[in-house]
Structure 1
Amino acid sequence: MIAIIIAGAVALTLSIFGTPLFIKVLERRGFGQFVRDDGPTSHATKRGTPTMGGVAIILSVLIAYFLSHLVLWTSPSVTVLLVLFLMIGLGVVGFLDDYLKISQQDSTGLRPRYKLLGQFVIASAFAVLALLFPDVDGNTPASTQVSFVRDIPWLDFAFAGSVVGFLLFAIWANFLVAAWSNGVNLTDGLDGLASGATILFTVAYLIISFWQWRQVCSVDLDAGGVVQCYGARDPLDTAVLCAAIIGACVGFLWWNTSPAKIFMGDTGSLALGGAIAGLTIVTRTEILGAVIGGLFVIISLSVIIQVTGFKLTGKRVFRMAPLQHHFELKGWNEVTIVVRFWIVAGILAGLGLGLFYLDALPRLSS
């Protein structure tokens, strides 16, 4: 519990006081945001605002997490190290994309095939490593079983054998990483929207991870000897990482709220998306994550619907996609959109936590 408090407090402090220093560095180097001409006209004023703020978030998370272990003289868990690998790896891909956009003054950035290749290599490495390193109870950081609130027994990739099971899980992990990283990236279109939604998501996962850690494994004879506990490995350390991410994002949001002094860029959105994907995998709640992070899902679906609808009918379903820009073109104020979307994100996070708690009720009453 102390580690959670230390990680959150250190990350918040580093982020809220370190971000303005990073802003000055970016301004001196002229690393300003490039704004597309075909976007909402209100975004023209954002041209030149320092970007790549994701660097400040990542560094705050890393320093806070490792400092919490140094202070308490404990070892980092392999589970969280793998999630950090995913976060940093995708952050590097995003950094390259941001740098090319700035240096070339073009919205193209890193070519899509190279961006997808980078995501694929990092996600595949994570998937393979996450099925190794069992603890004393045999739990690995990830499971070949697809999970809702916990592993679904009848939905296990291992049915096809060890090698094919590894491959199927790698495909599943790649899908999750691509979906979450691109979901956060699409959400990062208005000041504070993505960082605020990420805070709400991560708060929910801090509660989930802490709850998983608090559950003591026991055999329920009435249920035929089924172990009534969660199979996640290192849940307390996962909660420490969640606290670090929350603190870093809250500190960053101080400077990212409208009118933003800095943007997280693809560096931040891809890194946070990778962290979110990793959290859903290592807590074994992949499907539940789609409820808790429902705002990211809705915004991603708006792009899919827009593209598919236009290809099939030649007409646009929304005035502009992602969804937040549709409301901008309808005349909604940017702050109004962000706050209302935060409310939606909070409701969905609460709904997901409710589903998680309902699963625990039979064990609490037994």
Structure 2
Amino acid sequence: MNNKFLKIILGAILTSILIIFTSCQQAPTSQKVIRSANSTWIQELFQTEIVNIGLEKLDYKVEKPKQIEYPPIYISIANGDLEYSTVYYDPQHKEYFENSGGEEKLEKVGTLVPNGVQRYEIDKKTADKYNITNIKQLKEPEIAKLFDSDGDGKANLVGCKPGWSCELVINHHLKAYELEDTVEHNQGEYEILLADAMTRYKQGQPIFYYAYNPHWISTELRRNQDVVWLEVPFTSLPKEMGNLTEKDTSVDGKNFGFPILQQRIVANKKFLEANPVAKKWFELVQIPIEDMNAESSRIKEGENQEADILRHAQEWVKNNQEKYDSWLETARQAANE
């Protein structure tokens, strides 16, 4: 057993113990308790709060969401230490799902945020000057050097936080597209790395980064105005994601190399079987990408505390009250089905 896997297992065990300990004070027997978690990426808390506000209106007792990393979330849900999470990024989280018990213990429900687009981006000024449209062009050392920010001759790619599923895809791409000799995958706290790239961009320097929509970067650096989305030469993804084709990684006829993501809720299977109202609620709630981009921007501008996120979720519910109430009514009817 390698050290990385051992650390994940130990982390999951410790997380489960902590979750059990902090859940000791139960609600009155007339109310069912729901425990949720999202990752330490704070944008996900907004989605969790929107879901939890509805669960409370459906007469559930909802505990404060926990922030833990992805693998322990899945293991905790499978073990019954959490009821659900909003973090199933389909299909990129397939491995987390399967490694935590798969369909025997877990179930994917609804589509909370549809059609998330991932891609590689570079600044438009450099793209136009050197006619760069495809990531395969960075195999050329002279092209790669344009994006060298640390002086080692390689392009510096702002990539994913270690442990995120996109980390595996990017590392797979670098090997599949023969870019390991010319491109360096810079990893760390994504928001910090991206902010540094934005600073370089404002200084007129070339930038090269992984991007995901919904995220504030999509509103600040706009496609074909500020940045160019790079195509890939062919579709190649880790085998754990299944047999995906060019159709699964293309937008508007252009292949960007990453699967289109559907952000879904993942829940404990037994909990869903016993709680048809909650299951129906999970199936119905949906947040537009545009609203998630707006929330991401508010967080970036400093409204990034848990109280801020809860207030934002409450405002979202109020601004979508008619639709939200219709979802609640439909969910309540599931009790009689």
TM-score if structure 2 supplies the norm length? 0.26
Q: Which has the higher strand share?
A: 2
Q: Which has the higher helix share?
A: 1
